[in-house]
């Protein structure tokens, strides 16, 4: 367990947060939310000691081990497997299967495990770091946007891994669906403060909204009261007969203090400019094939046929490196196909968000100039309005592209799409640099977009809410699936997930002789952990039963007293009934809390037992 007490942090004289506190309890998995710039990653660095803080204290037990997913890439071994095995303790290093199981889950084949770490792309090198972090099995895992580097299959594997993790987890991710499936608690940074609740992001944002509405209502009532008091003071302080009362009101006014109006938090705004396409089909691709070297042997997809209707949303899914972004670039003309035919409707207007587009932003241009280049018909006020919706307000819109971060360049590219009229959108991982609130807003606006959408994403929430058809990349090519993402999971599923389970057969073979012992140990540990809770639950249930019987008895006595008109007896019985009812309410609340805790522990052990057997 760790505690942060009244932590404050500022940059350049501006407070990031002030006097924030929280306690991380045993086996809690916390989702850390907040807008970009609210200080989520900074909080991780404060916890790990990589960054100092201005005030407060942090209590971390000496033996408590913290694992942090690092972006720094430095490898010392000649193979991926050897590199990852180094993260195991000395007594575990012979258990290669532990490293193999996690590497397989994160998308590495057995052949990949024997390659040099440096031979992989940056995204896969981050996966190696993630594997090393998970293998260390720290008390606390700090994961900052781990889903950015994963394809949809690895993401689903990591989700299950974290749900069964026996330590604590604090997770930052813009993928709300992923977070809600994993966490036991949600904690949010907002307006320099920190709030933690039990439950998912839905409960968190509901609670936050309720509290903000209550605050604003209280503030409005206070302002109204202050105006009334001030009006009384102004009216009567000059009159001798009312001077004392006016002075009293003035003192009351001074004691009230001031509740500041809640500051407005910036959020991205998406307003797509749609232009009508009269045809039923916007794009037709027939017998489409592509390879980077132009050979048949290395085709990423072959003879692909895809008709895109004007209201379709096509989700392109599959493992990384199989050709999802490539297909998008072939369809938009960024890459030349090997064979096949692509026909657009004459009225088709394309909006394209992709990594190649971002790389072609002109460093010499300002943000205003870059967005203007997307639609020269827009006036400067309209362009600056789009800049503002992408959170480049005022002078920020005059910044040069050359000084922008990767996330800021992504927002400029999104702004260019908003400026351009379109009826078919091609979007390649548009959520990677957005915070959770902006992702939700983008999803809502895409749901409302009347044109066609072709979307590469690993975000399952996007796929569930938007896609009505899929292009699925598997070993050996791509094929169209006519149906939603949920229908795909139900009817087809990811064969890689079941294939990944084959790697774990080594675990079963190695540990089968210990399985009975481990199971017995877990059951014994479960009994010890739940013993006191079960005892208290039995006591409470017995007490509650006795009190409810007593309440029934008093109610009968009150009926008799009422019939005989014995008011004194009725009064005495009413007092006794009130006391009993209060005690009963307290015991019911305690029983509810303890029952939840008991069920949570039982479920945790059930998950561990299932993991042993699967």
Q: What is the pLDDT of residues 48-74, one digit of tens each?
A: 999 999 999 999 998 899 999 877 778
Rounded Cα gap, residues 457 and 467, in angstroms:
11
Q: How much is the pLDDT for 515?
A: 61
Task: Say yes or no: 172 and 211 in one domain.
Answer: no
Q: How much is the pLDDT for 370?
A: 93
> Cβ–Cβ contacts within 10 Å for residue 206, how many?
12
Q: Go through the chain and tell me how many residues it has.
A: 614
Angle between helices 96-105 and 495-503 (to 10 degrees): 170
Residue 211 tokens, joined: 């509290």
Q: Is residue 95 part of a domain?
A: yes
Task: Say yes or no: 403 and 450 in one domain.
Answer: yes
Q: Is residue 275 part of a domain?
A: no
> Cβ–Cβ contacts within 10 Å for residue 302, how many?
17
Is the pLDDT assigned to residue 4 strictly greater than 90?
Answer: yes
Task: Say yes or no: 395 and 471 in one domain.
Answer: yes
Give the residue with greater pLDDT, 445 vs 123.
445
Q: Is residue 271 part of a domain?
A: no
Model pTM?
Answer: 0.71
Is the pLDDT assigned to residue 503 strictly greater than 80?
Answer: no
Angle between helices 96-105 and 152-163 (to 10 degrees): 130
Q: What are phi and psi of 551, to 5 degrees?
A: -65, -45
Residue 398 tokens, joined: 């005059």
Cβ(274)–Cβ(421) below 8 Å: yes
Task: Say yes or no: 236 and 293 in one domain.
Answer: no
Residue ranges with strand state E in 429-474? 452-456, 469-474
Task: Say yes or no: 300 and 359 in one domain.
Answer: yes
Task: Say yes or no: 335 and 213 in one domain.
Answer: no
- Last residue within a domain, chosen from 439, 462, 497: 497
Task: Say yes or no: 342 and 437 in one domain.
Answer: yes
| Cα dist from 421 to 276, 362, 375, 432, 467, whole Å | 9, 21, 8, 24, 22
Is the pLDDT assigned to residue 94 strictly greater than 80?
Answer: no
Bridging pattern class, strands 66-68 and 140-144: parallel
Category of 223 on φ-ψ map: left (φ > 0), alpha (ψ -120 to 50) or beta: alpha
Residue 374 CB-half CA count within 13 A: 30
Task: Say yes or no: 9 and 92 in one domain.
Answer: yes
Of 160-164, 300-304, 400-404, 592-596, least confident by mean pLDDT is 592-596
Residue 232 CB-half CA count within 13 A: 17
Q: Is residue 276 part of a domain?
A: no
Of 17-31, 110-124, 250-264, least confident by mean pLDDT is 250-264
Cβ(399)–Cβ(423) below 8 Å: no
Cβ(131)–Cβ(157) below 8 Å: no
Arithmetic mean of pLDDT, 99-123: 90
User: Residue 54's domain is classified under what CATH number?
Assistant: 3.40.50.300
Task: Say yes or no: 484 and 513 in one domain.
Answer: no
- Report the chain's mean pLDDT, rounded to a whole number: 86
- What pLDDT, in 10s, does the model give residues 130-142? 999 999 989 999 9
DSSP 274: B
Name 68's Cβ contacts closer than 8 Å, sequence gap at least 6.
Answer: 44, 48, 133, 142, 144
- What pLDDT, in 10s, does the model give residues 203-234? 998 888 888 888 788 888 888 888 888 888 78
Residue 298 CB-half CA count within 13 A: 6
Rounded Cα gap, residues 403 and 395, in angstroms:
14
- Band (pLDDT 50/70/90 cuts) for residue 454 is very high
Q: What are phi and psi of 330, to 5 degrees?
A: -70, -45
Q: How much is the pLDDT for 612?
A: 62
Which domain does 229 fall in, by range?
Answer: 206-256
Category of 272 on φ-ψ map: left (φ > 0), alpha (ψ -120 to 50) or beta: beta
Task: Say yes or no: 252 and 123 in one domain.
Answer: no
Q: Is residue 236 part of a domain?
A: yes
Q: Is residue 483 part of a domain?
A: yes
Overall domain count for the chain? 4
Q: Is residue 265 part of a domain?
A: no
Task: Say yes or no: 466 and 365 in one domain.
Answer: yes
| Cα dist from 220 to 226, 231, 397, 467, whole Å | 10, 17, 35, 44
Name 326's Cβ contacts closer than 8 Å, sequence gap at least 6.
Answer: 290, 292, 300, 335
Rounded Cα gap, residues 75 and 119, in angstroms:
11
Q: Is residue 382 part of a domain?
A: yes
| Cα dist from 607 to 76, 160, 162, 483, 611, whole Å | 36, 11, 12, 32, 6
Rounded Cα gap, residues 390 and 393, in angstroms:
8
Task: Say yes or no: 441 and 311 in one domain.
Answer: yes
- Last residue within a domain, chosen from 435, 467, 497: 497
- Last residue within a domain, chosen from 446, 468, 497: 497
């Amino acid at each position: 367990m760790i505690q942060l007490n009244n932590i404050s942090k500022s940059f350049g004289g501006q407070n990031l947060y002030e006097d924030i506190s929280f306690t991380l309890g045993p086996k809690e998995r916390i989702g850390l939310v907040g807008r970009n710039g609210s200080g989520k990653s900074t909080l991780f660095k404060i916890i790990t000691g990589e960054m100092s803080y201005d005030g407060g204290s942090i209590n971390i037990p000496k033996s408590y081990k913290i694992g942090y997913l690092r972006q720094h890439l430095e490898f010392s071994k000649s193979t991926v497997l050897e590199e990852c095995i180094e993260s195991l303790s000395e007594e575990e290093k012979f258990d290669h299967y532990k490293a193999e199981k996690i590497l397989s889950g994160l998308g590495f084949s057995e052949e990949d495990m024997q390659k040099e770490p440096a031979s992989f792309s940056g995204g896969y090198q981050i996966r190696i770091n993630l594997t090393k972090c998970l293998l260390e099995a720290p008390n606390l895992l700090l994961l900052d946007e781990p889903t950015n580097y994963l394809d949809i299959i690895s993401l689903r594997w990591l989700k299950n891994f974290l749900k069964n993790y026996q330590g604590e987890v604090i997770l930052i991710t813009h993928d709300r669906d992923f977070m809600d499936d994993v966490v036991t608690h949600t904690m949010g940074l907002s307006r320099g403060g920190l709030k933690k609740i039990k439950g998912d992001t839905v409960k968190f944002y509901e609670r936050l909204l309720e509290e903000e509405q209550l605050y604003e209502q209280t503030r409005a009532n206070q302002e109204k009261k202050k105006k009334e008091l001030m009006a009384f003071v102004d009216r009567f302080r000059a009159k001798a007969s009312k001077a004392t009362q006016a002075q009293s009101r003035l003192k009351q006014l001074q004691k009230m203090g001031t509740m500041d109006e809640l500051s407005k938090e910036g959020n991205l705004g998406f307003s797509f400019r749609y232009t009508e396409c009269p045809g039923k089909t916007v794009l037709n691709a027939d017998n489409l094939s592509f390879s980077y070297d132009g050979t048949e042997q290395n085709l990423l997809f072959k003879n692909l046929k895809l008709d895109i209707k004007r209201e379709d949303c096509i989700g392109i899914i599959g493992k990384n490196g199989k050709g999802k972004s490539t297909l998008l670039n072939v369809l938009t003309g960024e890459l030349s196909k090997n064979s096949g035919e692509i026909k657009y409707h004459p009225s088709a207007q394309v909006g394209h968000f992709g990594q190649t587009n971002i790389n072609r932003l002109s460093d010499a241009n300002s943000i205003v100039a870059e967005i203007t280049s997307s639609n020269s018909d827009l006036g400067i006020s309209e362009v600056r309005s789009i800049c503002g919706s992408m959170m480049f307000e005022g002078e920020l819109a005059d910044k040069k592209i050359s000084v922008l971060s990767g996330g800021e360049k992504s927002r400029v590219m999104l702004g260019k799409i908003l400026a351009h009229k379109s009826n078919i959108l091609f979007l390649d991982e548009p959520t990677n640099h957005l915070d959770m609130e902006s992702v939700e807003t983008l999803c809502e606006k895409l749901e409302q977009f009347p044109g066609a959408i072709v979307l590469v994403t690993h975000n399952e929430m996007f796929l569930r809410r938007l896609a009505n058809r899929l292009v699925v990349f598997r070993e050996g090519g791509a094929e169209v699936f006519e149906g939603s993402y949920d229908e795909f999971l139900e009817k087809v599923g990811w064969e890689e997930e079941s294939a990944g389970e084959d790697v774990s057969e080594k675990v079963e073979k190695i540990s089968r002789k210990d399985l009975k012992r481990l199971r017995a140990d877990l059951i014994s540990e479960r009994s010890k952990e739940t013993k006191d809770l079960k005892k208290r639950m039995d006591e409470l249930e017995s007490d509650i039963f006795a009190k409810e019987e007593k309440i029934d008895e008093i109610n009968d006595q009150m009926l008799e007293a009422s019939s005989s008109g014995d008011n004194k007896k009725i009064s005495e019985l009413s007092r006794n009934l009130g006391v009993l009812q209060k005690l009963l309410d307290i015991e019911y609340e305690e029983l509810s809390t303890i029952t939840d805790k008991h069920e949570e522990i039982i479920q945790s052990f059930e998950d561990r037992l299932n993991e042993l057997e699967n």
